[in-house]
Amino acid sequence: MPNIILIGINHKTAPVALREKLSFSIEETLAALETLKQHPGIKEILIFSTCNRTEILYVASRSGTVDTLITFLSGSKQISPSEFVPALYILRKEEAIHHLFRVAASLDSMMVGEPQILGQIKLAYRTAVKAGTSKVLLNRMMHKSFSVAKKVRKETGIGDNAVSISYAAIELANKIFSDLSTKTVMLLGAGEMAELAVEHLISHNVGQIRVSNRTFENAVALAERFNGRALGFEERVDALTEVDIIISSTGATDYVITADQVKKAMKKRKYRTLFFIDIAVPRDIDPKINQLSNVYVYDIDDLKTVVASNIQQREQETVKAERFVSEAVIKFRQWLDSLAIVPTIKALNEKMTGIVEMECDKTLSHLSHLAEPDKDAIRRMTQAIATRAIHDPIMFLKHTGGHRDDSLYLNVARQLFNLDMLENQ
């Protein structure tokens, strides 16, 4: 098997302060790849860096490359090796492949099943392609990781059910109203939680969005970003008569909506359902509101219970996902093994022999007047022609030259003669 190596740190081995120091922007990644591809011991290389991990995946042609990369990281990030090496993991060959497939399938994420990681890995791959550092092995390996990630997401429930407070809140609203496209949502607060909630609301095709905040200009800014309408904070109570869902995440220390205010509003709205999601700590919404008819209040503890249940369901799905990953690793290893010279020559000989025997038998079946010795002579001749025909390609594969990439020529040969399809039949 080729010397595939993966080194890196992630949220399990290093605190965020260290991960920050070793992170790469897209521009830094490109510059690093341009430098590292000049190293004679590195045949292919790819870097992926997110908030939770920085990993370098590469194919080495000689020993000592791990020390080279540690020195490179230390120099480019201005950090002593003693500071990050203890947190570094070094995986080789099948372990490296297995790790990559698990990362792409979101099985190694801080939140199992989160969808962002696959997009981040695809971006890292495109960057390596742009730098010309991803070739036969990494190309195949990365595409295999994409396909196994897609299978895991499609055939398991690993991505089902919300596992963030803001997303859980929107899913809850969607379940209660069935169709959010006809509903109006008012956000109380314009901070990060509100912003996340708006993004989830838009993905659920919510009808209209109102944003109310103590600092009006922040409400205007958030509303403009998402094609909503800003309200003054003092307008929030009057708005209760026209909105259907209120998501509150202010920094207030007292309730910003009281039971008396909602009681009056319900009469004006003829007791149409009103749904509050309170994700603020301390709470924004008076819990007594829950006692009013046709009014529902869910606070952050209610949502945490939903999220915890969903996380447990996702973890149950990881068993099936891990099996898909293991199967993909086995198939990829088989492909790697096939790139060795002996299996390729053997497969090429078998294919040519099979073709010659089939065509020869077909022809001889129409030449019944020939004696058996004559038929044997024709068989020997056709077999000799086939052997001579593939002699030069085989000699080339055996002696591609020390400076060339053997895996490239073997892969091309297997594709030209369709050998992988033959073996998969």
Dihedral (C-alpha) 175, 179, 180, 182: value to the nearest 10 degrees?
A: -150
Instruction: Give the integer Cα–Cα distance in Å for 275 and 298.
Output: 8
Q: How far from the centroid of its chain's Cα atoms is residue 91's Cα?
A: 20
Tokens coding 238: 């009057």
Q: What is the distance between the alpha carbons of residues 100 and 108, in angstroms, rounded to a whole number?
A: 9
- Please report, for residues 49, 51, 340, the alpha-carbon distance to residue 6 in angstroms, rounded to integers and kept in the order given: 13, 18, 22
Annotated catalytic residues are: 51
Distance, CA of 127 to CA of 47 (rounded, Å) = 9
d(CA 162, CA 277): 15
Q: State the DSSP H helix or E strand holding residue 90, giving kind and residue range, or none if neither.
A: strand 89-92
Rounded CA-CA distance 84/1 in Å is: 29
- Rounded Cα distance, 76 and 290, in Å: 57
